[in-house]
A and B are shown apart, each in its own frame.
Chain A
Amino acid sequence: MDIKVLGTGCANCKATIALIDQIAKAKGVAVTLEKVEELRDIMGYGVMSTPGVVIDGKVVHAGGVPSRDKIEKWLTA
């Protein structure tokens, strides 16, 4: 599962990466987690609110740290 977190390095972006990483490890799901910090690359997804989360090329979240429940659903889908 390829996961990208879009954000210019704010605290919420870092928290989002950490939370996804933590939950993926806890569930034993193999993920490739990547930060996308360049504004041009972020805006290439049309995301105005960060952090954004992209899973396998699809934007699944934009704005605020996603909830634990939400992340768990992504990782079981």
Chain B
Amino acid sequence: MLVICGIIPIPDLPLICGPVKAEAGSLILEGHKIPCSQGTAAMVSAALAVSTYLDNEPPIALLAGDIGSGAGSRLIYNYIIEHVATLKPRVLAMHYCMPDLKLTVNLCEAVKTMPEKPIMLADAASMYAAKAADIAPQFDMFTPDLSEIAFLADPEAIHPAYINKHLFESDCSKIPLLIEQAYRHKGAAKNLLVKGAVDYIVAEGKIIDEIEAPDVPILECIGGTGDTITGMVAAFADAELELHQAAIISAKANRAAGEYAQVTPANSVSVLINALPQVFKDNLCAWSGVCSL
């Protein structure tokens, strides 16, 4: 089971939890219609595209409305801390939330008591909180972009807005150095997928693959294209792919979806998500070596 936790920008959305389904470009959960926009909705939609294609069970989404006050985020943290042991997810993915250091530590403590520890992914501010609380190595996967890998590499930084400017000004060629620093300062999860012009797949501090084709630079303009990668990684990991393999396939699939959809800077992330089934149909066999479902 894959559980994805994150906020939705609908102020009055209550805390909801359950399997999601897609309907006319939106997500449906407990009777609530959630538009597939940037953030956790995009992540869940991409994960659902993977699980649907693989005929796997749909992701369980734990969502609450929050437009920045942090109230919905705290509902999510408190619920998952209390229920993670009974939900018993194979993969637990933490996403857009107010970065609360104490609640993140409490979640990791709750996970430690489980006989079978879930695979722990974090992206967005959940990743910021894990790093700022000095518990990044307790996570199995982070999916930072260039500015965020500079944040993970800065031992003192508590948010990407306050990082050493020399680290931030690093160009793409310095990413391997930032990765090395992030591991040295214990700011990285066990595995990383560093998203950018070249996607770096890192396991235990070692770069094991670099994905650079197809090259679709416009993807950087579109809000949510990082969220879709993380959603796919989580769903492929739930389908029992090794994490590094899940990361490689997800990075390739995101790029291919951008190419298939011939994206422009004015597109929304839903265009990319809609292209994913065809991308999987055409490429998954070659990429994964698994050719029959």
A is bound by B: no
Q: Which residues of A contact B (CB under 8 A)?
A: none
Q: Which residues of B contact A (CB under 8 A)?
A: none
